[in-house]
Amino acid sequence: MTTATDAATTEAVSPAGKHWLDIATPIAVVIALGFAFFTPPEATQGEVARILYIHAPAAWIAYLAFGVTLVASGGYLVTKQMRWDRLAAASAEVGVVFTGLTIALGMIWAKPTWGVWWTWDARLTLTAIMFFVYLGYLSLRRAIADPVARARRSAVLGMLAVVQVPLVHFSVIWWRGLHQPPTVLRPDEMQIDGILLTAVWVGVVAFSLVYAALVRRRMLLARLEASIEQALRSESVPVAGDAVALPEVLADRVEAS
């Protein structure tokens, strides 16, 4: 039989538990794809413009993810609590995924529109730099074994790296290039309306849920990893061959982690 304490510990440690995000997220993604595929073709770009209903939301969520990394990094430096470090790392990982998706979708859109898969336009170049800088952030985390030193150094880089977000976003205004200027958040006037605008915002909502679900799962996994790492370092963990008895130690340490 399982006690209430054991059940609570298992729920806190295991990333497999169900959550409302696990249900809402796929539903929202299906709706967003429905809008992307079934809205009328755009007047000038035609069918290829449908990619933008996913490309633009992916870029915005990348901004959001790196903004959360900034806030969480600052939270760790102020409080020294590891949950802020876990949030910063999880958000950065998801942000890298969305940045890569943004670049890939942009290349698919660029080929029929510009005639090339890639050009060294300011927006594209700065987005690629942002992608590799945050890959460097994740590499830094893997290169440092001590969790405190890792959290501190990563927090500093996480706060400095976010300067790229406004550079990427405003690059189409500050420098003339092939990439079109802002469409929805245009400083002078709106350039999209009706069902097309709705499709963009539905995509933003859907990807926001995807982001939240992924970050939640990654933080649960990070807590589990930290608990196992701490248990393995403890002298009280019995080891038999290659097997390590962790459940009792995890039960005592998961809340403290």
**What is the tens place of the pLDDT at every residue in 177-187?**
777 766 665 54
pLDDT at 11 over 60: no
CATH of domain 19-221: 1.20.120
pLDDT at 232 over 80: no
Residue 80: how many CA atoms within 13 Å on its side-chain side?
Answer: 2
Its pTM stands at: 0.78
| 111-152 pLDDT per residue, tens | 888 888 988 888 899 999 999 999 999 999 999 988 899 999
Reference 192, options 43, 7, 32; nearest CA is 43
pLDDT at 209 over 60: yes
User: What pLDDT is recorded for position 41?
Assistant: 79
